[in-house]
Amino acid sequence: MTDEQESGFTLNPRYDANGLLTAIVTDEADGAVLMVGHMNAEALAKSMASRTAVFFSRSRQRLWQKGESSGNILHIVDMRIDCDQDAIWIIARPQGPTCHTGARSCFYRRVTDSGLEPV
Amino acid sequence: MTDEQESGFTLNPRYDANGLLTAIVTDEADGAVLMVGHMNAEALAKSMASRTAVFFSRSRQRLWQKGESSGNILHIVDMRIDCDQDAIWIIARPQGPTCHTGARSCFYRRVTDSGLEPV
């Protein structure tokens, strides 16, 4: 990390060894975290250009337009980057449920001392 | 990922090749994303036991109690896990600013087509 990456106003992402950033998506309506994905440089560029979330699928090793099969697109309302420029926060207007399970958010279970429970 | 990991109620995290989960922290007050960190199994266990956020520092390769030097502890109000159990969402009550820069959140810059701008 350089001072410029931390305090400057140039977009200069710090990709990991696999060329990826962490991307967090929250719902503009109430701040709920909807999902976490990853973006390579191309996914970030396509997200910015289309104002819809495009990720890089680590399992399929290819670009993945969120909603490409389900239609459940994430419209980007605002995008932030963190201090060391290795994570992106997308504030989105979701078109339909975000999780592939059909849940509104991928985070549909609470972690408790005795296991998980539905939220 | 197994069906049980996705739909079950047993905590069975899917750690990456480095033994880590992604951990997102939001502010209970307004849903702002405060920071993104990583947790290994020990950090997760200590976070759950202490109800304060403990991470694994990839740069220092050691456990890191958030606030250990600054005093800016993150009190855990609620904790969620995502569908494939590789990401944790912590809803926290922050004691002071979260970012090491002194900002309330690490995400203090907006990504725009012409660069970054302060939020």
Per-residue confidence (pLDDT) for residue B3, from 0 to 100: 87
**Residue A97: Cβ within 10 Å count:** 15
Judged by CB atoms closer than 8 Å, whether chains meet at B83 and A100 is answered as yes
pLDDT at B22: 98
Q: Is B13 left (phi over 0), alpha (psi -120 to 50) or beta?
A: beta
pLDDT over 80 (residue A2): no
pLDDT in tens, A59-99: 999 999 999 999 999 999 999 999 999 999 999 999 999 99
When the candidates are 3.40.50.2020, 3.40.50.720, 3.10.20.810, 1.40.20.10, the CATH number that belongs to A19-96+106-118 is: 3.10.20.810
**DSSP notation for chain B:** --HHHHH-SS------TTS-EEEEEEETTT--EEEEEEE-HHHHHHHHHHTB-EEEETTTTEEEETTTTT---EEEEEEEE-TTS-EEEEEEEESS--STTS-SSS--EEEETTEEEE-
Reported as a single tens digit per residue, the pLDDT across A12-24 is 999 999 999 999 9
Q: What is the pLDDT of residue A1?
A: 59
Mean pLDDT, each 10-residue run in order, chain B (119 residues): 87 96 97 98 98 96 96 98 98 97 97 97
Q: Where are the domains of chain A?
A: 19-96+106-118
Q: Which of these, B40, B29, B44, lies nearest to B77 by C-alpha position?
A: B29
Taking the C-alpha atoms of residue A21 and residue A41, their distance in angstroms, rounded to an integer, is 8
Interchain proximity B107–A82, CB inside 8 Å: yes
* Contact at CB, A48 and B11, closer than 8 angstroms: no
State the complex-level ipTM: 0.95
The pLDDT assigned to B90 comes to 98
Contact list in A for residue B89 (CB cut-off 8 A) is 33, 107
Overall size of chain A counted in residues? 119
pLDDT of residue B1: 60
Distance from CA of A108 to the nearest CA of B (A): 7
Chain A residues within 8 A of B26 when measuring between CB atoms: 26, 31, 33
Residue type, B75: H
Pick from B30, B78, B111: CB nearest A31: B30
Give residue A3's pLDDT band: very low, low, confident or very high (50, 70, 90).
Answer: confident
pLDDT band at A30 (very low <50, low <70, confident <90, very high): very high
In percent, the amount of chain A with pLDDT more than 70 equals 98
CA distances from B117 to A93, A116, B56, B113 (A): 22, 39, 30, 10
Q: What is the full DSSP assignment across chain A?
A: --HHHHH-SS------TTS-EEEEEEETTT--EEEEEEE-HHHHHHHHHHTB-EEEETTTTEEEETTTTT---EEEEEEEE-TTS-EEEEEEEESS--STTS-SSS--EEEETTEEEE-
CA B107: distance to chain centroid? Answer: 13
